[in-house]
Amino acid sequence: MKYTLSIEIALPRERVVQLLSDPAQMPKWLRGVLVHEPLNGKHGEVGTESRVVMQSGEQTMEATETITRREPENLHGIPSDSVVHYDREIVAKGMWNAARERFTEAGPESTLWTSENEFRFDSLPMRLIMPFLRGAFRRQSLQHMQDFKAFAEQGTDVRDAKD
């Protein structure tokens, strides 16, 4: 299953990618994150594997995230005509996900974030019901993007939200 989502954020691209790549900020915008800790390497660097634990309702999921691409490596002084790439693979029991994030300047004070997602599942039952769950996966991804936008633009912390 594959899908692509986009959202415009009213901040300069350099500020957006710095906020997004700062692990201390993650709990403020990534709804349900309990743990995001590097197992090796440094947070956000290519090749780094991290243990990720997410909670949704009563369900908890543990996964391993691997950073597969980050360009440019230095997130300061990014040329206005370049695209920032931030790709990762997430593996959990029975599931593989590739997330390919692209950040382009939409204007001098705005950023277009495009997120391409691909999911694969090991079990036959999951592969059979995926067409029915596609909308739920898209909604969750869009919720994360909207939460980040609200955090980046207005300082909204998802931990203060009443779910």
pLDDT of residue 163: 54
From first to last of its 163 residues, what are the pLDDT tens digits of the chain?
999 999 999 999 999 999 998 888 999 999 999 999 999 999 889 999 999 999 988 889 999 999 999 999 888 888 888 999 999 999 999 899 999 999 999 998 999 999 999 999 998 878 888 877 888 889 999 999 999 999 999 999 998 876 5
Residue 50's CB is within 10 A of a number of other CB atoms, namely 21
φ and ψ at 69, to 5 degrees? -160, 135
pLDDT of residue 56: 83
Q: Per-residue pLDDT tens for 5-25? A: 999 999 999 999 999 988 889
Report which of 19, 16, 52, 26 is spatially closest to residue 37, judged by C-alpha positions.
52
pTM, rounded to two decimals: 0.90
Residue 142's CB is within 10 A of a number of other CB atoms, namely 15
pLDDT of residue 162: 64
Measured distance CA(93)–CA(115) in Å, rounded: 23
pLDDT of residue 130: 80
Is the preceding peptide bond at 108 cis, omega within 30 degrees of 0? Answer: no
